[in-house]
């Protein structure tokens, strides 16, 4: 039987062709020059066989990105796995193993038994017993990772693009679980190891929250209901009379309030578990400089941002002159409505990896909790404005959207203030974080969704315009 190392080396060219087609591949739009094997290990079986591999992808830049892949090898690939085919190796088919529930069952078995295979450690959390009879199914909505739901009890997230160091998602879940935080899915296990003597996290198993609803879907449904009621009212009366969010059947404000309280509770629990302290000298200067640097980068690519530059720089400079201590701690780092779930018992925060484009050191550095708050406030604005509405009067539609966003942003902050200091009392810093996030959004939308570019640009105009 060909070794795992030789197998992956032999199909490297096929992997180079397949990788850009994967949702989780970060190097889209750049040619793949070569796939270089870092390590490969047989996890189980002979036919089918499960191979775990770490590869580097040469796209002409240093350092090269590293990815985790799991390959199935079979002499008789079932028809239902034809879409997962990667390459032929001799008389055997090599395919994406995460599509094969027979092979993904191996991962759960290894965790249940606390196995270690060639330096890969499969563990469960203290006191956890896994049901290894559960079959898996892949979750299709993720962009940067791959998750498998086992039955109705657990979900395994496999980190595709690997970073050196312990993944903050697993680290923060463990820390929050240790202090009894009610707003996370309970961690159940992990897959960890070392690459060149540096810790690496390959995967984490958590409780599967059956019947939970996605925060983004709930919020946008509320916006849709409000807009529909407003249009119906206008059509019936022949006048433009805005329906108020509190009068709409799908009002989201009570949930936004609960969500704010949940986020504040998670922040408090993170401070309890991992500490909080006044920011060191120079922190606000560093924050302001980072904001200016990001603005410079986006401005070079997006000319539409130019009219706002002076106002943005003034808002960022104001951060340097703030008085009083600014507490810093570990935070979520990439908080928005797509990172929260409404379970039957309350709101749950997920995906504590932080902003995926930032280096790990920046993602795990203590920061102001207002950065998370600002991310959520921006997400409410997105939810209010992203829906197309045909021939609806744009001014009327914008007014309705602004009313919804303002109501829910206020409700979120009021809920947050019940468990932590009111973020609106640090208005200068909070506004700077919101604007910094909006600048990032301008760059992202310009590159990926140009039709959405007016959303952050309009927000920048609003946030930098003095009230009448």
Mean pLDDT (whole number) for 283-307: 96
Specify whether the CB–CB gap between 57 and 64 falls below 8 A. yes
Mean pLDDT (whole number) for 331-343: 97
SS3 150: strand
Which pLDDT value is given to residue 392?
Answer: 62
Mean pLDDT (whole number) for 5-10: 96
Q: Which of 202-216, 345-359, 379-393 has the highest mean pLDDT?
A: 202-216
Which pLDDT value is given to residue 237?
Answer: 47
Please give the share of the chain, as a percent, with pLDDT higher than 70.
94
Which pLDDT value is given to residue 236?
Answer: 46
Specify whether the CB–CB gap between 317 and 287 falls below 8 A. no
Delimit the domains of the chain by residue range.
1-208, 213-464
Mean pLDDT (whole number) for 13-33: 92
DSSP state at residue 136: E
How far is residue 19's CA from residue 147's CA, in Å, rounded to a whole number? Answer: 17
| Residue 353 CA, distance from chain mean position | 7
φ, ψ for residue 321 (rounded to 5)? -95, 10
* H helical segments located in 307-393: 309-318, 360-364, 370-385
Q: What is the pTM of this model?
A: 0.92
Which pLDDT value is given to residue 309?
Answer: 97
How far is residue 160's CA from residue 146's CA, in Å, rounded to a whole number? Answer: 7
Residue 231 has pLDDT above 70, yes or no: no
CATH of domain 213-464: 3.90.1200.10
- Burial level of 76, CB count in 10 A (0-12/13-18/19+)? exposed
């Amino acid at each position: 039987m060909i070794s795992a190392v030789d197998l992956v080396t032999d199909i490297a060219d096929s992997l180079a062709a397949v990788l850009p087609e994967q949702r989780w591949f970060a190097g889209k739009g750049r040619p793949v020059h070569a796939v270089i094997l870092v390590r490969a290990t047989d996890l189980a079986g002979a036919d089918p066989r499960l191979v775990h591999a770490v590869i580097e992808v040469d796209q002409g830049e240093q350092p090269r990105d590293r990815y985790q892949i799991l390959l199935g090898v079979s002499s008789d690939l079932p028809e239902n796995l034809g879409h997962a085919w990667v390459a032929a190796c001799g008389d055997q088919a090599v395919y994406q193993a995460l599509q094969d529930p027979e092979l993904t069952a191996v991962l759960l078995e290894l965790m249940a038994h606390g196995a270690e295979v060639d330096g890969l450690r499969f563990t469960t959390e203290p006191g956890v017993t896994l049901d290894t009879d559960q079959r898996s199914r892949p979750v299709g909505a993720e962009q940067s990772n791959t998750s498998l739901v086992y039955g109705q009890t657990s979900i395994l997230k496999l980190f595709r693009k690997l970073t050196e160091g312990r993944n903050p998602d697993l680290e923060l879940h463990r820390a929050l679980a240790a202090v009894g935080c009610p707003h996370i899915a309970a961690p159940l296990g992990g897959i960890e190891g070392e690459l060149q003597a540096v810790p690496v996290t390959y995967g984490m198993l958590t409780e599967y929250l059956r019947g939970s609803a996605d925060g983004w879907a709930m919020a946008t449904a509320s916006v849709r209901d409000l807009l529909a009621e407003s249009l119906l009212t206008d059509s019936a009366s022949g006048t433009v009379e805005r329906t108020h969010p509190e009068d709409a059947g799908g009002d989201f404000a009570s949930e936004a309030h609960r969500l704010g309280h949940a986020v504040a509770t998670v922040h408090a629990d993170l401070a309890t578990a991992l500490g909080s302290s006044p920011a060191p000298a120079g922190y606000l200067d560093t924050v302001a400089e980072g904001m200016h640097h990001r603005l410079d980068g986006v401005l070079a690519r997006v000319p539409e941002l130019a009219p706002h530059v002076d106002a943005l720089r003034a808002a960022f400079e104001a951060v340097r002159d703030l008085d009083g201590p600014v507490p810093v701690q570990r935070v979520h780092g990439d908080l928005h409505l797509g990172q929260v779930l409404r379970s039957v018992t309350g709101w749950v925060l997920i995906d504590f990896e932080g902003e995926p484009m930032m280096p790990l050191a920046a993602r795990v550095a203590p920061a102001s909790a207002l950065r998370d708050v600002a991310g959520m406030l921006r997400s409410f604005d997105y939810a209010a404005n992203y829906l197309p509405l045909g021939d609806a009067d744009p001014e009327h539609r914008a007014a309705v959207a602004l009313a919804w966003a303002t109501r829910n942003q206020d409700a979120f902050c009021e809920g947050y203030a019940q468990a932590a200091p009111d973020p609106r009392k640090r208005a200068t810093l909070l506004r700077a974080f919101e604007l910094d996030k909006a600048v990032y959004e301008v760059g992202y939308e310009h590159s990926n969704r140009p039709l959405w570019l007016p959303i952050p640009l309009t927000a920048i105009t609003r946030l930098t315009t003095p009230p009448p």
